[in-house]
Amino acid sequence: PRLANQIAAGEVVERPASVIKELLENSLDAGASRVEVEIEAGGVKLMRVRDNGSGLGKDDLPLALSRHATSKIYELDDLEAVGTLGFRGEALASISSVSRLTLTSNAGDAGDAWQASAEGRDMVAELKPAAHPRGTTVEVRDLFFNTPARRKFLRTEKTEMNRIDDVIKRLAMSRFDVNFVLRHNGKAIHNLPAASNQHEKERRLAQICGPAFMENAVHLDIERSGLRLWGWVALPSFSRSQADMQHFYVNGRAIRDKLVTHAVRQAYQDVLYHGRHPAYVLYLELDPATVDVNVHPTKHEVRFRDNRMVHDFLFRSLHRALAEVRP
Ligand code: ADP
Ligand code: MG
């Protein structure tokens, strides 16, 4: 499986932030309500993700590190086709093939915890007893220690850390019900407590997007014929230094989409006569059968069944919300 490991690793593990994304998604999949992320040296030295999710039993630990879907790649016998597959079920195997990884987990039932570790492509996993409350800790050390070429492509510690931070923020804006904690080199970066009501959500967004965003933002929540748009749009009084503050979620998944960008900007210009890219955090909820957000696991694309209808709904909802507060 050596070849497959390397190919898949190239897909998933591009940089520390891609590791964090996979680990956090696993924690959320496991139903965690609290996720703690600890980073050293921009992630190259250490990334540790600890959750209070369902955990893994002793027998499942080595399995989680092994690549069960490898045969798929060999059967295809076509490396070009690989890019379209998405390497689901292979993130941990891919990460461990380019790092020193330990997986410690407690599934809660028997109250005992176990640890499996893997190092480099050979994935020598060994099981030993450990101490850990219900949940899972994944520790990734020395990323790319065995692939110096890829290591060379990494940017500065600060840049890699910013990308990790972006991944966490993006997830934290979609999962208000989860407590996210981030530390870098022993220093607290974020502690975002779970938020349930609007006030708590706004407090979280103020932490993530900055208090100025929240102070200048209009809240909206509009529902019509099975579509719901809610969230916050900043008025032109919000002058931001960051270029990128456009967050759009479709059924909880962060996406980037021309249709969405266009509808928002058009409504904004129409009401406020303002040409600048507006800043927003918006959530569109609609029947999952009418949208495909899985076009590619790493690109954030989306396909609506009825583009026109979605565009109209976004435009009209924003138009209405902005017209109400027009200065
Ligand atoms: P995938 O998530 O696509 O199944 P991964 O390689 O990311 O593939 O994870 C492999 C398996 O390991 C998961 O299916 C899950 O059973 C288990 N796993 C990984 N991380 C966790 C976690 N934090 N909590 C519980 N189980 C986990
Ligand atoms: Mg996964």
Does residue 226 share a domain with residue 273?
Answer: yes
- Please check the confidence at residue 307 and state whether its pLDDT lies above 80: yes
- pLDDT category at 236 given cuts 50, 70, 90 is confident
Does residue 301 share a domain with residue 171?
Answer: no
Contact 237, 273 (CB under 8 A): no
Does residue 180 share a domain with residue 216?
Answer: no
- Residue 65, pLDDT score: 86
Higher pLDDT, 191 or 121: 191
- Residue 87, pLDDT score: 44
Distance CA 272, CA 109 (A): 57
Q: Is residue 199 part of a domain?
A: no
CA of 185 to the centre of ligand 2 (A): 26
- Residue 237, pLDDT score: 84
| Edge-to-edge order in the sheet of strand 217-224 | 217-224, 227-234, 280-285, 246-250, 253-255
The protein residue with its alpha carbon nearest to ligand 1, atom 13, reads 64
SS3 content of the chain, % helix, strand, coil (to 5): 40, 25, 35
Q: Is residue 204 part of a domain?
A: no
Q: Is residue 308 part of a domain?
A: yes
- Residue 326, pLDDT score: 79
Q: Can you tell me the mean pLDDT for 13-42?
A: 95
Distance CA 99, CA 158 (A): 20
Of these ranges, 53-67, 105-119, 196-210, 289-303, the one predicted with the greatest mean pLDDT is 196-210
- Please check the confidence at residue 238 and state whether its pLDDT lies above 90: no
- pLDDT category at 247 given cuts 50, 70, 90 is very high
CA of 88 to the centre of ligand 2 (A): 7
Does residue 97 share a domain with residue 39?
Answer: yes
Taking the CA of 30 as reference, the closest ligand is 1
Does residue 214 share a domain with residue 188?
Answer: no
Query: At 305, which CATH number?
Result: 3.30.230.10
Backbone angles phi, psi at 278, to 5 degrees: -70, 150
Q: Spell out the residues 6+ positions from residue 186 whose beta carbon is closer than 8 angstroms to its own.
A: none
Please write the tens of the pLDDT for every residue from 144-165.
Answer: 999 888 889 899 999 999 999 9
Q: Can you tell me the mean pLDDT for 269-285?
A: 88
Distance CA 250, CA 176 (A): 15
Residues within a 6 A CB radius of ligand 1: 22, 26-27, 29-30, 51, 53-56, 64, 88-93, 136
Probe ligand 1: pick from 20, 63, 92, max atoms within 8 Å of CB?
92
Number of structural domains found in the chain: 2
The protein residue with its alpha carbon nearest to ligand 1, atom 11, reads 64
Reading the block at residue 317, the tokens are: 């909802």
Percent of the chain with pLDDT over 70: 83
Does residue 280 share a domain with residue 235?
Answer: yes
- pLDDT category at 187 given cuts 50, 70, 90 is very high
- pLDDT category at 105 given cuts 50, 70, 90 is very high
Does residue 48 share a domain with residue 158?
Answer: yes
Percent of the chain with pLDDT over 90: 64
Please write the tens of the pLDDT for every residue from 41-81.
Answer: 999 999 999 999 999 999 888 888 887 643 334 443 433 33
Query: At 77, which CATH number?
Result: 3.30.565.10
Q: Is residue 244 part of a domain?
A: yes
Q: Is residue 257 part of a domain?
A: yes
- Residue 301, pLDDT score: 80
Q: Which residues pair with 105 in a beta bridge?
A: 114, 136
Q: Is residue 205 part of a domain?
A: no
CA of 60 to the centre of ligand 1 (A): 10
- Residue 13, pLDDT score: 85
Q: Can you tell me the mean pLDDT for 218-244?
A: 87
DSSP string, 215-234: HTEEEEEEEETTEEEEEEEE
Does residue 222 share a domain with residue 185?
Answer: no
Of 159, 192, 225, the residue at which a domain comes to its end is: 192
Does residue 156 share a domain with residue 101?
Answer: yes
Q: Where are the beta strands (DSSP E) in 120-267?
A: 126-130, 135-141, 179-184, 187-192, 217-224, 227-234, 246-250, 253-255
CA of 24 to the centre of ligand 2 (A): 8
Q: Is residue 197 part of a domain?
A: no
Q: Is residue 131 part of a domain?
A: yes
Does residue 134 share a domain with residue 177?
Answer: yes
Distance CA 178, CA 191 (A): 11
Does residue 188 share a domain with residue 51?
Answer: yes
Distance CA 283, CA 227 (A): 11
CA of 22 to the centre of ligand 2 (A): 5
- Please check the confidence at residue 130 and state whether its pLDDT lies above 60: yes
Domain span at 238 = 210-325
Taking the CA of 86 as reference, the closest ligand is 1
Provide ipTM, 2 decimals: 0.99
Does residue 166 share a domain with residue 49?
Answer: yes
69-72 contacts at long range (C-beta below 8 A, 24 or more positions apart):
70/1, 70/4, 70/5
